[in-house]
Amino acid sequence: MSNKADSNNSNNQPSNYEKVRAEQLEYNTKRAKGYREQALKLFPWICGRCAREFTRAGLSELTVHHIDHNHDNNPSDGSNWELLCIYCHDEEHSKHENLIRYGSSTERKTATATHKPFANLKDILK
Ligand SMILES: [Zn+2]
Ligand SMILES: [Zn+2]
């Protein structure tokens, strides 16, 4: 009789992909927590759009928006952060998506109509 006891090849090591993903997830969570806490220390707890005020109890509805939409851009002076309530934040992002998808038709219209009002501001200030 043959003894094939070691055919039970248990390979329980996580794949490299899963490991990387887990690390990335942890990094994202840490980073998000980091800038949110910083922003909440820097700014008053008020939505930058609808001016709704927040207390610690409702603070989960106050979120940090990245003004340039780049979540990797987190200057410690808060210049790329804006505190927005979840509703205004939502709107801000759908606005941004529309901008990418359809282009800023309204901005283009006003730009041609007003004919660059600040174009010669530098000359005026001289
Ligand atoms: Zn709001
Ligand atoms: Zn945002």
Distance 30 CA to ligand 2 centre (A): 17
pLDDT at 120 > cutoff 70: no
Is position 2 within any domain?
A: no
> Any idea which ligand is nearest the CA of 61?
1
Q: How far apart are the first and last CA of the chain?
A: 100
Residues 51 and 90 sit within 8 Å (Cβ to Cβ): no
pLDDT, residue 12, reads 67
Q: Is the whole model's pTM more than 0.85, yes or no?
A: no
Is position 5 within any domain?
A: no
Domain count of the chain? Answer: 1
Determine phi and psi for 104, rounding to 5 degrees: -90, 85
Is position 9 within any domain?
A: no
Mean pLDDT of the chain: 82
Using a CB cutoff of 5 Å, list residues around ligand 1, an ion.
47, 49-50, 85, 88
Is position 4 within any domain?
A: no
57/100 Cα distance (integer angstroms): 35
Which two tokens mark 16? 């490299």
Is position 8 within any domain?
A: no
Determine phi and psi for 73, rounding to 5 degrees: -95, 95
Instruction: Pick the range with the lowest mean pLDDT from 1-15, 37-51, 59-73.
Output: 1-15
Is position 7 within any domain?
A: no
Is position 10 within any domain?
A: no
Q: What is the pLDDT of residues 17-37, one digit of tens each?
A: 999 999 999 988 877 678 999
Helix and strand totals (H; E) in the chain: 4, 2
Q: Which domain holds residue 85?
A: 16-125
Rg (CA), the chain: 25
50/67 Cα distance (integer angstroms): 16
